[in-house]
Structure 1
Amino acid sequence: MNNPINWFEIPVEDLNRATAFYEKLFDAAFRCETIAGIDMAVFPHVKPATGGALVKMAGLTPGEQGTVVYLHTPDLQAALEKVQEAGGRCCMPAQALPHNIGTIAMIIDSEGNRVGLHQPA
């Protein structure tokens, strides 16, 4: 198994607000759809790459506790500069990782989720 990660979902309270936040953060358009009664905004990706979505559904609550998803960014500093402007905040400043892995930071998104950002070396 080369990559066990297949799909991820980030819970949101306000799908429009969350979509606007991430579209601004990544300068990308998300695809909005409803599948099995679940409203979602899908992160842009090219199959077979790992995909994910912002989801609004009963039983999922945004929050700072729990699993942290790290999203790729080619320019961590530029992404961090957009976070507050887009309605979020930085909760862990950029930190270089050992072994030439890259640099990471953590943010709180517009919905209150703790999300990691990773710029590979």
Structure 2
Amino acid sequence: MTYHPDNFVVWTEIPTTDMDRAIGFYQAVLQTELTVDDTGPNPIAIFRTQTPGSGTAGHIYPGIPAARGAGPTVHFNAPGPLEDSLERVKTAGGTVVSPIITIPAGRFAYCEDLDGNSIGMMERG
């Protein structure tokens, strides 16, 4: 039997060397509020979905990011036009590292956050 879940990815974790700075970056780029939770062994800042407990989300946490270009890429839904999201990445101190790429599902671009984590901004078609 072959395993085919509704979602292969159930959660993402993005390490950061500076929680406050990373929270500010992601809130500015994604035009959202992250929820800080310090009830576990490490504080985390959670990307909230529209309906709690539904969809795939994740968090940022204090940790050691992979070397630039060496870690996995987390792709985010771009709020609004992709070009606007890429401008917010730059304004918030991140880096846009690719041109906009068109695929059947929409358009996206690769970026790096303040710690050099690879992220993608995606505008669905």
- Fold shared by both chains (TM-score > 0.5): yes
How far did 1:36 drift? Answer: 2.6
Residue matched to 1:94: 100
TM-score, normalization by structure 2: 0.86
- Which residue of the other structure, out of 10, 17, 20, is the alignment partner of 1:16? 20
**TM superposition shift of 1:62:** 4.4
Q: Which of 47, 51, 57 does residue 57 from structure 2 map onto?
A: 51
Q: Structure 1: 5+ residue runs without aligned partners? A: none
Is residue 65–residue 117 contact of structure 2 (8 Å, CA) maintained in 1? Answer: no
1:84-115 superposed Cα distances (whole Å, 9 cap, x missing partner): 11011101121111xx2110101111121111
Query: Normalising by structure 1, what TM-score?
Result: 0.89
Offset at 1:31?
A: 0.3
For residues 81-120 of structure 1, the aligned pairs below 5 Å read: 81-97=87-103, 100-120=104-124
**Is contact 1:13–1:62 with CA below 8 Å preserved after alignment?**
no
- Runs of 4 or more, structure 1, over 3 Å off, are none
Percent of pairs with identical residues: 26
SS at match of 1:93: coil
Q: Which amino acid counterpart does residue 54 of structure 1 have in structure 2?
A: I
SS of residue paired to 1:104: strand
- Shift of the alpha carbon at 1:116? 1.0
| 1:26 correspondence with 2:30 | yes
| Counterpart contact for 2:65–2:115, Cα < 8 Å | no
2:77 corresponding residue in structure 1: 72
Q: After superposition, what is the alpha-carbon deviation per residue over 1:47-75, rounded to whole angstroms, capped at 9, x for unaligned? A: 22111001114xx4244212111111142
1:112 aligned counterpart, secondary structure: coil
